[in-house]
Amino acid sequence: MTMVLIVGINGSSRPKGSTAFLLQQALGAAREAGAQVEMIHVMEALEDQKTPYCIQCSTPCSGACSLNNNLGKAYDFLRRADGLILASPVCFGTVSAQLKAFWDKSRILRKEKALYNMVGAGMAVGASRFGGQETTLKALFDMMLVQGTMIVGDGFIEADCGHHGACAQAPAEEDAFALQRARLLGQRVWEVAMAIRILRRHRL
């Protein structure tokens, strides 16, 4: 049996910032559990886009903006994935503009039902302790639910039942509690992805 693939999406404009660091902790735990992992930086995925946000150039979506470019490569990883960890910095109480643009352009994935029955989880990093992390998580959950993704929290059988997701105060590397929750989140996504991978057979 092949390993499950878990993809982390860094919704920050910083490839080495707090959001990416927290995401790496979750992906590291999933890798240790036995998953194959990949990280997508939305800034890199969008860098060769003529228009960096969706203008609904066709209905239904033709996927023209993701043909033979960085965005298409990122979406191909998502098509093959069994689990998804969506991470964003808090920007005015919600997700980053970069992540929203990346997700809005994924109308083609919704048309294909490419993320249907995928395991999804969220993480958010704010500048302060109560800086909009949970409202950002809720936005992440809404984005994934519209794709048919199944949401899990940051619980694991050897720890506790968990919370909504992993939330950190920047700098994330100094937030010990957040680092612990991020690892539990990665383990949980791996665990559920293993259990329900049969539901992802529609991709084949």
CA angle in degrees (0–180, nearest 5) for 103-81-193: 115
Angle between helices 176-196 and 18-33 (to 10 degrees): 50
pTM of the model: 0.95
Q: Which of 105, 94, 136, 127 is nearest to 40 (CA)?
A: 105
**Pairing mode, strands 150-151 and 36-41:** unpaired
Confidence class for position 3, pLDDT limits 50, 70, 90: confident
How far is residue 127's CA from residue 124's CA, in Å, rounded to a whole number?
Answer: 10
Fold classification of 5-197 is Rossmann fold (3.40.50)
Question: Each residue of 170-179: pLDDT tens digit?
Answer: 999 999 999 9
Confidence class for position 204, pLDDT limits 50, 70, 90: low
CA atoms within 13 A on the CB side of 11: 29
Measured over the CA atoms of residue 177, residue 20, residue 97 and residue 67, the dihedral's sign is: negative
Give the distance between the most distant pair of CA atoms in the chain: 48
Question: Each residue of 7-49: pLDDT tens digit?
Answer: 999 999 999 999 999 999 999 999 999 999 999 999 999 999 9
pLDDT > 70 fraction of the chain, expressed in percent and rounded: 99
- Beta strands per DSSP E along the chain: 5-10, 36-41, 83-89, 119-126, 150-151, 166-169
Question: Each residue of 100-153: pLDDT tens digit?
Answer: 999 999 999 999 999 999 999 999 999 999 999 999 999 999 999 999 999 999
Phi, psi of 124 (to 5 degrees): -140, 145
Question: Each residue of 77-101: pLDDT tens digit?
Answer: 999 999 999 999 999 999 999 999 9
